[in-house]
Structure 1
């Protein structure tokens, strides 16, 4: 704050690329909702000049220019905003194209809790916000409190969490799977399948979970899936259907992870009774 001469800043992203900026960026485009939320949680929302169409929290970011989807952003729209840096997922198709146009890109895509913690630290460095880890400590405490609120009986519950359409599930190695473990429930998805595997309907039928967690966007036709009508979770209506807003909280590895833990804990408490 007190220095007149801004010092160059180098931050290494999730590709292992060292990105050097002449100073802490004042014009930021973020095309990944969890990164958008983290910038704002660090008190730097005012530096955002554009976001992807899915960045909708906090409410103030909805007024910003939208530059398409995170995977296939509108490159021209991003360049027109003259950003100092673009924050995007490592899997985004726009990374190389933007870099070829001379735009600085930090590619970060946390898949697990350690990744989310690391990204918060990196964004703290980028934005020159001291003690960015305080956010992580608050998340960690919130998740622990949610876990402690659950009865011991919850530990025997076997849960299937469907993250998105097409049968993509939360695996044990994902931040959602790790949260399920911290809440003490058992994930029916085998660890060997990876963080967000696509599982076929028969896999879930064979596993026969006690409880299903799913978003309202994907719940249509659940009982029409092969063999699902006979599953105990459907017969006994042990299905938690999260609203679109709740799903946004749950599937983003960002500052609202403690809220995500509370949503899961509420589901387990309400629907998980054996």
Structure 2
């Protein structure tokens, strides 16, 4: 008779074991990725995914990264497995990862489909909203077994962004040209996350309506738009130098007002939790620009 309670207990535990072991999430390509358990061996294929994995608490599980993965400092010492142009697929496979995390705007789908065909799960990311950054951290936390830490960090990110939004959302608008690159001259449209940061701070992207995410523009088009502030965050100490050519146009509102600003590199360029710091700096910079108008 005692066999029945034991059998009932076994039947009750079987579905619970399946739930505990089954970790699934939908990635940026709308693909359902399922793991038999938390990923303990992870390969990151972009600087952004590397940052997000460390933010999710999974830094110790990252075996290798892509070129230019320089944050946090611990990522600099990890082996490299290629860049956005070319990945070392043999090296990736040899690492026997439980999970590969890729970036839709940089990594080759054809190359990574070959990785997937070998049974190695590939999870694609492409945060286009602040909420998507927080969600990416939470999802990576779940897939790597660090859900609690990831959830706390994502929540803090959202909470502090909401504080910035409440503080600057009703500020007087400032027309902004955001310079991604100087030669050729490039900017962002309204769908790019940097533009959303500008809007959160009360700025108006003068090229928000461009059909391309990162369009090339002419100096004549910028002059015609007559921005009240020109911002850039180019690599290293070259940021300010990239703004110098605008001094040749003293009639431009941004030049006349002294509103040419070089922001801290990387904080806005990568859609990671550090965008909070970049957005905070951006909001403070636009406050200075308002004082100059």
TM-score, structure 1 normalization: 0.84
The structure that is helix-richer by fraction is 2
- 2:188 match: 170
Are the structure 2 counterparts of residues 118 and 168 from structure 1 closer, same or farther at C-alpha, using a change threshold of 3 Å?
farther
Distance between the aligned counterparts of 2:124 and 2:216, measured in 1?
24
- 2:5 match: none
SS of the aligned residue for 1:53 comes to coil
- 2:9 match: none
Shift of 1:119: 2.0
Shift of 1:148: 5.2
Aligned pair 1:211/2:198, yes or no? Answer: no
**Could you tell me whether the CA contact under 8 Å between 2:50 and 2:69 is conserved in 1?**
yes
Aligned pair 1:28/2:42, yes or no? Answer: yes
- 2:287 match: 269
SS of the aligned residue for 1:254 comes to coil
- 1:197 match: 215
Are the structure 2 counterparts of residues 82 and 225 from structure 1 closer, same or farther at C-alpha, using a change threshold of 3 Å?
farther
- 1:248 match: 266
- 1:113 match: 130
Q: Deviations over 1:171-196 (max 9, x none)?
A: 22222211221111222123353543
Distance between the aligned counterparts of 2:234 and 2:289, measured in 1?
16
**Correspondences of 1:97-136 after superposition (within 5 Å):** 97-101=111-115, 102=118, 103-131=120-148, 132-136=150-154
**Could you tell me whether the CA contact under 8 Å between 2:176 and 2:204 is conserved in 1?**
yes
Q: Which runs of 5+ in 1 are unaligned?
A: none
Distance between the aligned counterparts of 1:70 and 1:161, measured in 2?
24
The structure having more radius of gyration, on CA atoms, is: 2
- 2:252 match: 231
Shift of 1:4: 9.2
Shift of 1:66: 1.6
SS of the aligned residue for 2:255 comes to helix
Distance between the aligned counterparts of 2:186 and 2:163, measured in 1?
28
Distance between the aligned counterparts of 2:189 and 2:143, measured in 1?
31
Alignment size in residue pairs: 268
- 2:103 match: 89
Distance between the aligned counterparts of 1:122 and 1:189, measured in 2?
33
Shift of 1:48: 0.5
Are the structure 2 counterparts of residues 4 and 53 from structure 1 closer, same or farther at C-alpha, using a change threshold of 3 Å?
same
- 1:143 match: 161
Of 64-73 and 225-234, the range deviating more from structure 2: 225-234
TM-score, structure 2 normalization: 0.79
**Could you tell me whether the CA contact under 8 Å between 2:134 and 2:155 is conserved in 1?**
no
SS of the aligned residue for 2:147 comes to coil
**Could you tell me whether the CA contact under 8 Å between 1:98 and 1:104 is conserved in 2?**
no
Q: Which runs of 5+ in 2 are unaligned?
A: 1-15
